[in-house]
Structure 1
Amino acid sequence: MAALLSVPATAAVWAPRAAAAAPGRHPSFSEPYTFRNVTIGGTGFVTGIVFSQAQKGLAYTRTDVGGMYRWNAATGTWQPLLDWVDWDHWGYMGVASIAASPSDPAKVWAAVGMYTNGVDPNNGAVLRSCDKGATWQATVLPFTLGGNMNGRGMGERLAVDPNNDRVLYLGAPTGHGLWRSTDGGVTWGQVTAFPNSGDDPKTSGTTEDPGLVWVTFDTSTGRRGRTTQTIYVGVADRDDPVYRSTDGGTTWAPLPGAPTGYLPHRGVVDPDNHLLYVATSDDIGPFGGGKGDVWKFDATSGGWNRISPIPSSSGDDYFGYSGLTIDRHHPGTLMVGTQVSWWPDGIIFRSTDFGATWTRIWDWDGYPDRKLRYDFDITATPWYTMGTRSEPPILVPKIGQALSAMEIDPFDSDHLLFNGGPGIAGTSNLTAWDTGGTIEITPVVEGLEEGAVQGLIKPPGGALVSAMGDVGGFRHDSLTTAPKTVFTSPVFSTTTSIDYAELNPRTIVRAGYLNDPGGTSHAAFSTDGGATWFQGAEPSGVTSGGTIAAAADGSRFVWAPGDSGRPVVHSTGFGTSWTDAAGVPANAIVASDRVNPMTFYAYSNGTFYVSTDGGAAFTASAAGGLPATNWGVRFKAVPGREGDIWLAGGASWTSYGLWRSTDSGATFTQVSSVQQADNIGFGRAAPGRAYPALYAAATVHGQRGLFRSEDTGKSWVRVNDDRHQYGGLPEVLTGDPDTYGRVYFTGYGRGIIYGDPYRESKPPHHSSWDSSDHE
């Protein structure tokens, strides 16, 4: 057996609590809530898809920042599996790899960790479950994992022996080598006999080096209950990209004749014919790359053959290869996707003769026309057009640009899933491709909510309107139906800030990054509650969004673009012209008073600023004791109450908590009932109360969670539970001004979530932590 370097004894095993507080049985300072996702469908980057080979209809998918999901074939929905992840382990929402037992459908493992560059304070971990991800236990590793690092589409780096599911391998990033478990993932040790650490400076730098990126087995070289003998490992090393063991992992060596010069994104074994297929690219991806090849290794003859649909030697190629799968009912059938193909679309190739010949999902048909082998039906998610129309050769919806995840169902040759569109797409008539028919593609995203939310507003009497990363944002006329379109006129790639006029709530303003050739401004306006938009002029030198605020009556706006050194500006009317504001630093956080149209506020590195002339000039407040950084600070003015402001945020190395001002920021008082706070929002007042309900992402009496107060912060009830933590920090948080008790927030990469008090025939009794009783 290969020598193992054991995980240090200090590596903890952490078992998250899975049981929620049942209705009527809950901690004394909590109230049962029901949580659901606002329906969008996808929006984020799916990095891997893994079908179970033990049970038909069972599959898992991983995302870069939005956790892991299990496919429920009976309902046609994805079930999130990591919503229990808490504040302290937020990096676990980045899933680097998944492995499912080929013999026991209940067993699944996940390698989790967000970053390898120091941003994530925790090491990575391997989660294990014996109930398809309903509950988990974790073993912490002595190194970090990079579920959201470059190279995240490669894999799978975590693999379970198909003949003995007590044996697992994990390829580590950044020079940490190959790791092995022989007890089902409970303990791990480094395989010291493996000769390549995976630290290759020729890839993309030490903090971006994906290291050992996939492990795969030749099932035919073992038998049930015994260790599989032939194991392949892909390494992000241009000189030695593939390693093999033929003695069950005891010894390892570079695979003779392996192609050099490119990086092995994925490797798949055909055990019936003892073949290894490898897809390569010249970049670790997911969004870079220009050349690559597909190779076939015959273990019987020891020979390699390049079987690329378009070889790297061709002058026509402008992509590498990444997504790779075989039909396990027809092993000579394989498919591969382009690593990155920005124009006019991604390409999927299919071969039914072991790679000797290929067809592609679309072909040129006399430029600019293309002949398609597919029809893409987006009736359920019409926003997939991204606010544009087809203008050949660009057709919408697109297949996708970075096709790194692609799997044919091992139980059904007609069923394919791939990371197409903004999420997952699939077909159930795949073999029609081979007879000249059209395959029917649809988004497969119901329940898959992994968007990055940057802002959220719920104007009184209006729709929910969101600022989103990557897809701009949406107006939600229904919380349970996908929106018809993203924001248009202009289209933003990412909206960084959004606000509405409190006294004229159909007036909305947003700012962000342009993704529209016809766009002229990084700010846009709506006067119909976000249904339609228009743009005005903008100051010179603006390239990003920053923060933007609307006056209480919508008569003027203040904008702090996110460009370094670009001054804060103000405009009367809808941005027809902008004038620099005086007395406030660039890149300040700006907001408006919700009563007085002439009053705006700004915050910059511990100093609060006030303007009483519509944003023309700001004056620094004398208020002290606030966080000395903009990082993590969020402040909002209370609807209907002039000069009433709540500010949350900070960090352990500076002031950190919740503050309130009732004199337009002249003074602030720290709220003693809260130890730490990261966000604050307002909703409809409780029955019999005049002041809006407060919602805070905070720590109250040592308990971190999402809390509600009905008495201006004197007492709080926790409204989430240990099963609904979503990575800990709601980047965005607001109550509903029309529905008491409803709160909207974002999880870490989990889209928009809304919660309502649990309804039962008799309202559940609850008490709350009260600062006057428990100090």
Structure 2
Amino acid sequence: MKPHWISDVAVDPAHPERLWFVTGYGVWATDQANADVAAGQTITWQFPNKGLEETVIDELVSPPEGAPLLSAIGDVGGFRHDNLAVSPVGGAFQPFHGGNPGLAFAEQVPALVVRTHWGPTRGALSRDGGATWQDFATAPEAATRHGPGLAALSADGTRLVWLPKGGKPHYSTDGGATWHESRTSLVATTLWPTYGPVADRVNPQRFYVYDSVAGAFYASADGGVSFERLRALPAKSGKLRAEPGVEGSLWLPTDEGLLVSRDGGRTFHALPGVSAAHQVGFGAPAPGRREAAVFLDGTVRGEEAFFRSDDGGATWIRLNDARLRLGWLRCLTGDPRVHGRVYLGTSGRGIFVGEPLPAKK
């Protein structure tokens, strides 16, 4: 591993032969800082980073079967996390392509997963829950020229919709062998941040795109063949999320609150009590309830924290105290199999897993 982004060097005052320096990957250390390199002595560097991450998490998904978590990570690809307690034995997604900005699975066929990446074809498909991957046979010209952008799979897994940077949406019905340009006025910016399509979790024909730069919302009711601009929304928000099990239910975290649509994006309303929202995601319902639990990074009743709601946002439970703040979260998701479990994707501190406290006896 080649160090980069060196930002600090520290010497142990009690042991001057001990030296540390920090990079974009983590902390390097040696106990041989006094070695005479000119005389032929060498310095051995170690990477003692067990339990310490400096990764930037672009996306997290937790399918209802298979591995509990899949991750897309800047620079180092992404992982299938079969065991949340240990580093993935299989290593990063293969073939390895550095940054993976996008990751999504088909709701009704969760073993089918798509990721976008910075390799030559800009995307890949997995049919075994992220264990193995096959790169797309082709890619839209905009993806090759400007960057991968994001892609989504229809609820039944039969359609792919891709919004590459600097281009219009494209759709595929043959697993990425061929791509067709959608009819729409929507063109993705080449600037940061990356945004792209979100699949409805019930209806395989419905896809949505929230343009977080212009603050415009688009929807497709024909599997990505065309997109219609429906309305304006606040710009510079978190990730648009589709609610599992409810057709047309969309949640958008914004600086103006948590906006919810029940009609596929034609109308949105702000949830009372939430004055600002950064990221939102869904997890397993609480015992005795049918609706998915909602996880939120935002401000509720004047308190900025992580929250969970088991009643569709009517009431919220605070999940952290003032000592646990992780900076800007790039994504979050609940676990559809374990009520209360939440995964947090940070902007440089790796992945955090939150578990509910055991019930008091």
Q: TM-score, normalised by structure 2?
A: 0.88
In the TM superposition, 1:404-415 aligns within 5 A as none
2:84 to 446, 461, 479: 479
* Residues in 1 aligned to 2:170 and 2:200: alpha-carbon distance in whole angstroms: 17
Q: Is the 2:151–2:163 contact (alpha carbons within 8 Å) kept by the matching residues of 1?
A: yes
CA gap of 1:512–1:722, structure 2 versus 1, over 3 A, is same
What per-residue deviation string (whole Å, max 9, x for no partner) do you get for residues 105-142 of structure 1? xxxxxxxxxxxxxxxxxxxxxxxxxxxxxxxxxxxxxx
1:756 to 351, 355, 360: 355
2:153 to 537, 547, 550: 550
Q: What is residue 676 of structure 1 aligned with on the other side?
A: 276
What secondary structure, in the 3-state scheme, does the structure 1 residue paired with 2:115 have? strand
1:661 to 261, 273, 278: 261
Cα displacement (A) at 1:688: 1.4
Q: What is residue 744 of structure 1 aligned with on the other side?
A: 343
Cα displacement (A) at 1:545: 1.6
Q: TM-score, normalised by structure 1?
A: 0.42
What secondary structure, in the 3-state scheme, does the structure 2 residue paired with 1:757 have? coil
CA gap of 1:689–1:757, structure 2 versus 1, over 3 A, is same
CA gap of 1:584–1:679, structure 2 versus 1, over 3 A, is farther
* Residues in 1 aligned to 2:3 and 2:314: alpha-carbon distance in whole angstroms: 39
* Residues in 1 aligned to 2:278 and 2:356: alpha-carbon distance in whole angstroms: 22
Unaligned 5+ residue runs, structure 1? 1-40, 72-322, 328-332, 335-349, 361-407, 409-415, 418-425, 427-442, 515-519, 651-655, 763-775
Greater Cα radius of gyration, structure 1 or 2: 1
Q: What is residue 206 of structure 2 aligned with on the other side?
A: 599
What secondary structure, in the 3-state scheme, does the structure 2 residue paired with 1:495 have? coil
Q: What is residue 48 of structure 2 aligned with on the other side?
A: 444
Q: Is the 2:162–2:196 contact (alpha carbons within 8 Å) kept by the matching residues of 1?
A: no
Q: What is residue 706 of structure 1 aligned with on the other side?
A: 306
Cα displacement (A) at 1:44: 8.4
What per-residue deviation string (whole Å, max 9, x for no partner) do you get for residues 369-408 of structure 1? xxxxxxxxxxxxxxxxxxxxxxxxxxxxxxxxxxxxxxx6
Cα displacement (A) at 1:607: 2.2
* Residues in 2 aligned to 1:53 and 1:60: alpha-carbon distance in whole angstroms: 12
What per-residue deviation string (whole Å, max 9, x for no partner) do you get for residues 5-50 of structure 1? xxxxxxxxxxxxxxxxxxxxxxxxxxxxxxxxxxxx9998664453
Amino acid at match of 2:61: I
Q: What is residue 218 of structure 2 aligned with on the other side?
A: 609
Cα displacement (A) at 1:747: 2.6
* Residues in 2 aligned to 1:530 and 1:539: alpha-carbon distance in whole angstroms: 23
* Residues in 1 aligned to 2:65 and 2:348: alpha-carbon distance in whole angstroms: 28
What secondary structure, in the 3-state scheme, does the structure 2 residue paired with 1:667 have? coil
Q: Is the 2:281–2:296 contact (alpha carbons within 8 Å) kept by the matching residues of 1?
A: yes
CA gap of 1:671–1:555, structure 2 versus 1, over 3 A, is same
CA gap of 1:590–1:584, structure 2 versus 1, over 3 A, is farther
Amino acid at match of 1:494: G
Q: Say if 2:237 is the partner of 1:632.
A: yes
* Residues in 1 aligned to 2:63 and 2:225: alpha-carbon distance in whole angstroms: 26
What secondary structure, in the 3-state scheme, does the structure 2 residue paired with 1:558 have? strand
1:465 to 61, 70, 90: 70
CA gap of 1:720–1:535, structure 2 versus 1, over 3 A, is same
Q: Say if 2:205 is the partner of 1:573.
A: no
Q: What is residue 192 of structure 2 aligned with on the other side?
A: none
Identity of aligned pairs, percent?
37
* Residues in 2 aligned to 1:644 and 1:573: alpha-carbon distance in whole angstroms: 27
Q: Is the 1:44–1:451 contact (alpha carbons within 8 Å) kept by the matching residues of 2?
A: no
1:585 to 176, 182, 186: 186
Q: Say if 2:249 is the partner of 1:648.
A: no
CA gap of 1:453–1:43, structure 2 versus 1, over 3 A, is farther
Q: Say if 2:60 is the partner of 1:456.
A: yes
CA gap of 1:450–1:737, structure 2 versus 1, over 3 A, is same
What secondary structure, in the 3-state scheme, does the structure 1 residue paired with 2:152 have? strand
In the TM superposition, 1:196-211 aligns within 5 A as none
Q: Is the 1:43–1:471 contact (alpha carbons within 8 Å) kept by the matching residues of 2?
A: no
Cα displacement (A) at 1:486: 1.3
1:488 to 94, 99, 107: 94
* Residues in 1 aligned to 2:266 and 2:72: alpha-carbon distance in whole angstroms: 30
Q: What is residue 286 of structure 1 aligned with on the other side?
A: none
Q: Is the 2:308–2:319 contact (alpha carbons within 8 Å) kept by the matching residues of 1?
A: yes
CA gap of 1:673–1:475, structure 2 versus 1, over 3 A, is same
Q: Say if 2:223 is the partner of 1:618.
A: no
In the TM superposition, 1:50-61 aligns within 5 A as 50-54=10-14
What secondary structure, in the 3-state scheme, does the structure 1 residue paired with 2:53 have? coil
Q: Is the 1:634–1:649 contact (alpha carbons within 8 Å) kept by the matching residues of 2?
A: no
What per-residue deviation string (whole Å, max 9, x for no partner) do you get for residues 400-439 of structure 1? xxxxxxxx6xxxxxxx43xxxxxxxx2xxxxxxxxxxxxx
Q: Is the 1:512–1:523 contact (alpha carbons within 8 Å) kept by the matching residues of 2?
A: yes
Cα displacement (A) at 1:507: 0.3
* Residues in 2 aligned to 1:689 and 1:61: alpha-carbon distance in whole angstroms: 50
